[in-house]
Each structure stands twice: as structure tokens, then as C-alpha cells.
Structure 1
Amino acid sequence: MTDTPHYWWLTALLALVLFGDAVMSLRPPGFIRRCLDGVRLPRDWWWILVVIKLLAAAGLAVGLKYPGVAFTTNVAVIGYFICAAYAHFRARFLKQEFWLNCLGMLAFSVAVLIVCYMV
């Protein structure tokens, strides 16, 4: 179950999406700024999200070759988006950014895990 992913391209796509998200977060567009401000994450901490997403993208990419790494990283990405969803609920910031960005990425991460390792 924790071998390399059955469908490498899905894991690579998740890595690419996370990498793109990290790059966008360097100079956040309006929807990312609204999201981070909405959950009241201090601007001084925004850089850590870039680091987390870059490390996740790297872990997924490395995991295409090394057994267990992509699986573990995929689970961590799911944990990250569960924490993000909790932050949205706690801040009562349940606008479009929550439904599309946060829950969309959570659903995509869960789908990749299920299809790549459980099917």
C-alpha cells in the first residue's frame, strides 16, 4: 500500500499544483490574500505556507522513485488542508475561497491518495 504510486502522473499533477500554489503565494493574488486575511493568519507568517507547499511538492516528486515518500507526503498534504479547513471554520470565513481553494485542494489530495494507493 505504501509503495510508489500506481498512477505516477496523478501524484506528479498534485506536486505541480502545489508548486504552482507556492509560486503564486510568493506574491499572493487577491483570492489568496483574502483567504489568508480571512483566517487571520498574520502576514509575517505567510512565508511558511510557501515553504510547506514547496516541501510537499518536493516530497511528492521524490516519492515517485522512493517507496513510501509520496504516500507519506500525500497524507501530510491532506493533514495540511484539514488544518486549513479548521482555520476557516474557526474564523467563520466560509466564503468562496474556502469552498473552491481549501476544500477543492483537500478533495483533490484525498482523491490522489485513494486512486494512487488504495485502488
Structure 2
Amino acid sequence: MSIRPPRFIRDCLDGVGFPRDWWWTLIVIKILAACGLIVGMWVPGVGLAANVGVIVYFICAAAAHIRADFVGQTFWINCLGMLAFSTAVLVLSLAL
């Protein structure tokens, strides 16, 4: 979805003031996160690091939303929702 972002993602990135020249970095970050999570199924340390990286990504996204005062529905559902989900996955993975 980052290669050709749908309207709600474009609006979100524009709303927080993320420069379009840098949108490609999100593709790299998301590919690395996905690879880390997949490898982490067999290598626990990599999975933990990838999960923490995903949480840091969403913390940075939340900070960008707050800083830009772009705290509408996208912020509450997508950004904070995925931050909560990522954190829950980390907590559950450490508990098991």
C-alpha cells in the first residue's frame, strides 16, 4: 500500500507534513519490519527486535500526528490502534 498509497494514506502523510520525496523510506522500513517479523518466527531475538522496531515506528507516527495537530480519525484508529496492537503482540510474545 505504500508503493501506490490509497487516498487515506496520502492524506495522512500530507497531514503530518511528511515530504513526498521521502515516502520511499516507508517502503524500505516496512519491508525490513516484515522480513524481521518473518525471520523472528525462527530466530527469537530478531523477532523481538523487529517487534520493538514496529512499536517505535508507531510511536514516531503518533508524535508526528500530535506535533502536526493532525489528530482526527486516522490518528485514533490507524496510528494508535496499530500501536496498541503491536504492543499487545510484544507483551503476549514475552508472556508465552
Q: CA RMSD in A?
A: 0.9
The one of 89, 95, 100 equivalent to 2:66 is 89
TM-score of the aligned structures, taking structure 1 as reference length = 0.78
The aligned counterpart of 2:51 is 74
The count of residues paired between Structure 1 and Structure 2 equals 96
Q: How far did 1:87 drift?
A: 0.3
The aligned counterpart of 1:47 is 24
Query: Where does structure 2 lack aligned partners over 5 or more consecutive residues?
Result: none
Spell out the pairing of 1:1-119 with structure 2 (5 A cutoff): 24-119=1-96
Q: How far did 1:116 drift?
A: 1.1
2:28 aligned partner, one-letter code:
V
| Displaced runs of 4 or more, over 6 A | none
Counterpart secondary structure, 2:43: coil
Q: For each residue in 1:37-70, what CA deviation from the matched residue of structure 2 results, as whole angstroms up to 9, or x when unmatched?
A: 0000000001101110110000000011112110
User: Identity over the aligned pairs, expressed in percent?
Assistant: 66
Query: Where does structure 1 lack aligned partners over 5 or more consecutive residues?
Result: 1-23
Q: How far did 1:112 drift?
A: 0.4
Which structure carries more relative contact order (alpha carbon 8 Å, separation 6+)? 1
Q: For each residue in 1:7-66, what CA deviation from the matched residue of structure 2 results, as whole angstroms up to 9, or x when unmatched?
A: xxxxxxxxxxxxxxxxx1110001100100000000000110111011000000001111
TM-score of the aligned structures, taking structure 2 as reference length = 0.96
